[in-house]
Amino acid sequence: MIKDNKLIASEISHIAEVASMLWSKGWAERNGGNISVDLTDCLTPRELRTKPVKAGIVLPIPMPALEGHVFYVTGTGRRMRDVAREPWENGALIKIANDGLSYDILGINPVMPTSELASHLLIDSSLISAGRPMRVVLHTHPTDLIGLTHCKELLDSRKLSLLLWSMIPECRIIVPKGIGIVPYVAPGTIELARATITLLENHDVIIWEKHGILAVGDDIIECFDAIDTLSKAAQIYFSARAAGFEAEGMTNEQLQELALLFKLPSF
C-alpha cells in the first residue's frame, strides 16, 4: 500500500502540517489555495505500477516532460482545514501517462485534482525543461499580501520586493529573489500559468494581483516559510500605516549590506 511507504507518509504529513497552517493563518477561506508535490522519487517500481482508480483523464496541454511522474495534489473544491485532518481523503495521487497526454488517479479515492492543476503541472514541466526541477508548488490567499496588490503603485516587482524586504532583514534573506507580479488574470486559466512561468525565470515566489500567491521549491515547509515571511513584512507595513505613520523601512545601503553578508543575488 502506497500509504504505508514511510517516505510518502512523511511527505504527506508535511503537506497536512502546511495545510493546517494555511487555514490557521486565515489564508485558506473555503477551498482557497492548492498544493502539489512531486513524489515520483519516493515510490518503489512496484508502487509506480499501482492500478489506477480512474484512468486516462486528458490534460489540457501535452506535458511530455512529466511522463511517468506521480504527484500528490489537493482535491478540487476541498478545504485546507480538511486536507490538514485527512490529506488522503481530500487529495489525489496522480500519475502522468507515458505519452504525457493524460493522467491516472492512483490511490484510494477518486478525488479530482485542484482547479489549478494545469498551472501546477505546466509550472513543473517548464521548470524541468529549464533544468531546475522543483518538487513543490504551493498556492494560497494571504490577506495582507493580496491587500497590497490593490494598490496600483505597488504593482511593480522591484518596488514591491524592496518595500517588503525593507520591513525586516529576514525577508531579504528568506526571499532572496524578491517577488514577481502577474497582473490580474482569471483563476485556473492557462494564461495565468503561462504568465507565472515567465516570472519564475527570475523569482521563486509570484503574486497574482487581487488573488493570491504561489511559491515553488523542493520543500513544502520552506515554501510556506517564504510566504509567511513576506506576509509578516506586509503586516509590519500595514500596522505602521494603521498607527498613522509610514514605516521607514531599511535603507538601500542596509539591504545591500545584507546581500554582501549573506551572499544573496543582487536585484
User: So which residues are the catalytic ones?
Assistant: 116
Q: Which of residues 208-267 bind Zn ion (CB under 5 A)?
A: 212
Name the binder of 115 from Zn ion, ligand 2HA, none, CB < 5-8 A by kind. Answer: ligand 2HA
114 binds ligand 2HA (CB under 6 A): yes
Number of residues that bind ligand 2HA (CB under 6 A): 10
Q: How far apart are the first and last CA of the chain?
A: 47
- DSSP class of 75: B
Give the Cα separation of 24 and 18 in Å (integer).
Answer: 10
* Binding segment (CB under 6 A) for ligand 2HA, from list 28-36, 104-112, 168-176, 242-250: 28-36
Give the Cα separation of 40 and 156 in Å (integer).
Answer: 37
115 binds ligand 2HA (CB under 6 A): yes
143 binds ligand 2HA (CB under 6 A): no
52 binds ligand 2HA (CB under 6 A): no
31 binds ligand 2HA (CB under 6 A): yes
163/181 with CB nearer ligand 2HA? 181
141/203 with CB nearer Zn ion? 141
Give the Cα separation of 192 and 23 in Å (integer).
Answer: 24
In the complex, what is the shortest distance from the CB of residue 82 to ligand 2HA, in angstroms, rounded to a whole number? 13
CA atoms within 13 A on the CB side of 34: 24
Burial annotation 49-59 (CB, 10 A radius, 16+ → b, else e): ebebeeeeeeb
Classify the C-alpha dihedral 162-166-168-169 as positive or negative.
positive
In the complex, what is the shortest distance from the CB of residue 68 to ligand 2HA, in angstroms, rounded to a whole number? 26
For β-strands 136-140 and 34-38, DSSP reports them as antiparallel
Give the Cα separation of 137 and 34 in Å (integer).
Answer: 8
187 binds ligand 2HA (CB under 6 A): yes
103/165 with CB nearer ligand 2HA? 103
Burial annotation 184-207 (CB, 10 A radius, 16+ → b, else e): ebeebeeebbbbbbebbeebbbbb
213 binds ligand 2HA (CB under 6 A): no
DSSP string, 169-211: HHHHHHSTT-EEEEPP--TT-HHHHHHHHHHTTT-SEEEETTT
Residue 176: all three cell numbers together? 532572496
In the complex, what is the shortest distance from the CB of residue 211 to Zn ion, in angstroms, rounded to a whole number? 6
116 binds ligand 2HA (CB under 6 A): yes
116/124 with CB nearer ligand 2HA? 116
34 binds ligand 2HA (CB under 6 A): yes
Applying CB under 5 A, the residues found at the interface with Zn ion are: 212
Applying CB under 6 A, the residues found at the interface with ligand 2HA are: 31-34, 114-116, 139, 187-188
